[in-house]
Structure 1
Amino acid sequence: MGQGVGRGVRLGVAAIALAGLAGCADLGALGGGGSGPGIRALALMGGAVRVRGPEGYCVDQRASDARRGFAVLAGCALISDQAAVMPTLDGLITVQFGESGSAIVSGNEEAFADFLTSDAGRAVLADDGDASHIADVAATGANGTVVARFEDTSGPAFEGTTGAEWRGFQDIGSRLVTMSVLSFARAPLSRAEGERLLAVAMAELARANAPDAQDAP
């Protein structure tokens, strides 16, 4: 990894990781119990970007922070008592948009993936910032995305989740976006299922923010 690229990756990822950790700090169980039908998409950061999950996923507005670009998504039936839809791959998804100008993935995919396996990278992946709690990191980068799978031994970030976590990084416009996929303890995702859900969710998020999709429902 070149020194310039490495430093840029470290600073960019660390900044968005801290923002994401702040968004999770006061979250316990999934929202649930909503009275509406559930919403598939939500504008964030004053309408600058929006979040939308795979089919069957809705946004938990109570657990999300639209102003800061942070969103939590789960099966619609888990979010609202008026929704019956559940996704084929049932997990918990979090999304954190960085500030304008934070994009750093494109062109740095391999360096980014290498960074995540370092001590500094494991600290970024850790919910509590402690690299010693992160084990079995496997990271790859290509075609504008970086994905990692790892174990965080510090305990679940959300009540009711367990096991491995999948983390994805991509640029949307001029922003770095971090996405996490977690398993529910009641029905853990297999390695292949977690990887598939992350890939589908990242692709859907990119489509939701494409220039010709901004006015679509």
Structure 2
Amino acid sequence: MALAGCDTGGGATSAPLRAASMANGEMILVAPEGFCIDRRSLKSSFALLARCDTLGDPDGAYGAPLGLITVSLSTIPANAAPISAAALQSALSDGSVLDRIETADAVLLRVQGTAPTREGLSATHWRGTGQVGSQRVGLAMYGAGDSAATGREGGRVLDRLMQRTRAQAAATAQAASATPAATE
């Protein structure tokens, strides 16, 4: 499967990112094992992840499924209710739900819908959401029709992304609270 925009090209010398600050420093996105963050895609509220070997780390795939992950962030209003699988399913503009994974970290739906492109990516993909601090995290994972990314493994990969990102947020909060206040 060709992953447009995922080669390092142009003589890039820096290693792919496995973690990145987002939401103006409010959250650190931590990639699941085998995936890296495409530096060129990284914005305050958006990131594209691909298997590390497609981003220039030939030894970094660790058996991860070949696929693309998108992460988008939005600030959660103070009075917002958590998103349930039923709410997420009703928000889908197209497609039918084939599978569902609900964890402490995320609500994930495997959907048969419209493919993001006609070239190589399956219409079956994962969509989901979770929360990290004040940020709502929107997730999607796409792969070729025969990729494990479009099967149950794709949902597990997205869940690991949320687990790692939330663990990082908890560790950062704990470190901040353990830092003694500056004295004069």
Q: Deviations along 1:73-116, whole A, 9 cap, x unmatched?
A: 11222112x5431132222211111125378464xx5xx21123
Q: Deviation string for 1:12-46 (max 9, x for gaps)? A: xxxxxxxxxxxxxxxx8233125222111111132
Q: Secondary structure at 1:210's aligned position in 2? A: helix
Give 1:116's aligned residue.
88
- Listed as ranges, the gaps of 5+ residues in structure 2 are 176-184
1:126-149 superposed Cα distances (whole Å, 9 cap, x missing partner): xxxxx3xx1245445453531111
Among candidates 127, 136, 139, match of residue 179 of structure 1? 139
Unpaired segments ≥5 residues, structure 1:
1-27, 124-130
The match for 1:19 is: none
* RMSD (CA atoms): 2.9
* Structure 2 residue matching 1:195: 3-state secondary structure: helix
Residues 212/48 of structure 1: CA separation in 2 closer, same or farther (3 Å cut): closer
Alpha-carbon distance between aligned partners in 2 of 1:179 and 1:103, rounded to the nearest angstrom:
22
Question: Is 2:4 aligned against 1:29?
Answer: yes
Letter of the structure 1 residue corresponding to residue 104 of structure 2: N
Q: Report how many residues are paired.
A: 169
Match of 2:160? 200
More helix by share: 1
Q: Percent identity?
A: 26
In structure 1, how many angstroms separate the alpha carbons of the residues matched to 2:161 and 2:40? 20
Partner secondary structure for residue 71 of structure 1: strand
SS at match of 2:142: strand
Q: Distance in 2 between matches of 1:151 and 1:73?
A: 21
Q: Over alpha carbons, which structure has the higher Rg?
A: 2
Secondary structure at the aligned position of 1:88 is classed as: coil
With normalisation by structure 2, the TM-score equals 0.75
Q: Distance in 2 between matches of 1:59 and 1:33?
A: 12
